């Protein structure tokens, strides 16, 4: 039977989802690497300054200055990207939004953690 004849049902096949592009994984992980840079280069400087003051660091600051914490976020973003790529379900926009918004939220958290000791020192002076 031809497709043009009456009585023939043509069924549309759903389009196969596209895997997440490699460039998106690179961009998302690269953006998340900012947290690693902050953890390696910026946070130790703050730690030394406050140690010189003899001040006890707040809990949030002590947690975030642990070297492994800064490397955890880029690793999670990379794993998320690879998981989406291997499953074949793209989710490009969702992946990039998670990577960018998550990184922005962590940068704000690191900023707060670095200012907490300053607030604590100002309260004692």
Q: What is the pLDDT of residues 63-119, one digit of tens each?
A: 887 777 777 888 888 888 888 777 776 677 878 888 888 888 888 888 888 888 888
In a domain, 81, yes or no: yes
Distance CA 72, CA 26 (A): 16
In a domain, 2, yes or no: no
In a domain, 78, yes or no: yes
Distance CA 28, CA 50 (A): 33
Distance CA 7, CA 10 (A): 10
Q: Taking a C-beta distance cutoff of 8 angstroms, is the pair 84, 22 a contact?
A: no
In a domain, 117, yes or no: yes
Q: Is the pTM of this model over 0.75?
A: no
In a domain, 11, yes or no: no
Give the domain range for residue 120.
22-124
Distance CA 48, CA 27 (A): 32
Total count of domains within the chain: 1
In a domain, 27, yes or no: yes
In a domain, 12, yes or no: no
In a domain, 17, yes or no: no
Give how far Cα 3 sits from Cα of 6, 7, 11, 73, 112, Å. 8, 9, 11, 53, 65
pLDDT in tens, 15-46: 555 677 888 888 888 888 888 887 778 777 77
């Amino acid at each position: 039977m031809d497709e043009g004849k009456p009585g023939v049902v043509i069924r549309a096949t759903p389009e196969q989802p596209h895997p997440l592009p490699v460039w998106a994984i690179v961009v998302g992980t690269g953006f998340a690497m900012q947290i690693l840079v902050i953890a390696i280069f910026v946070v130790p400087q703050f730690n030394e300054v406050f140690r010189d003051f003899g001040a006890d660091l707040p809990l949030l600051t002590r947690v975030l200055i642990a070297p492994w914490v800064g490397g955890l976020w880029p690793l999670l973003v990379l794993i998320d990207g690879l998981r989406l790529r291997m499953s074949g379900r793209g989710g490009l926009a969702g992946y990039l939004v998670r990577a960018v918004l998550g990184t922005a939220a962590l940068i704000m958290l690191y900023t707060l953690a670095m200012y907490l000791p300053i607030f604590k020192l100002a309260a004692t002076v």
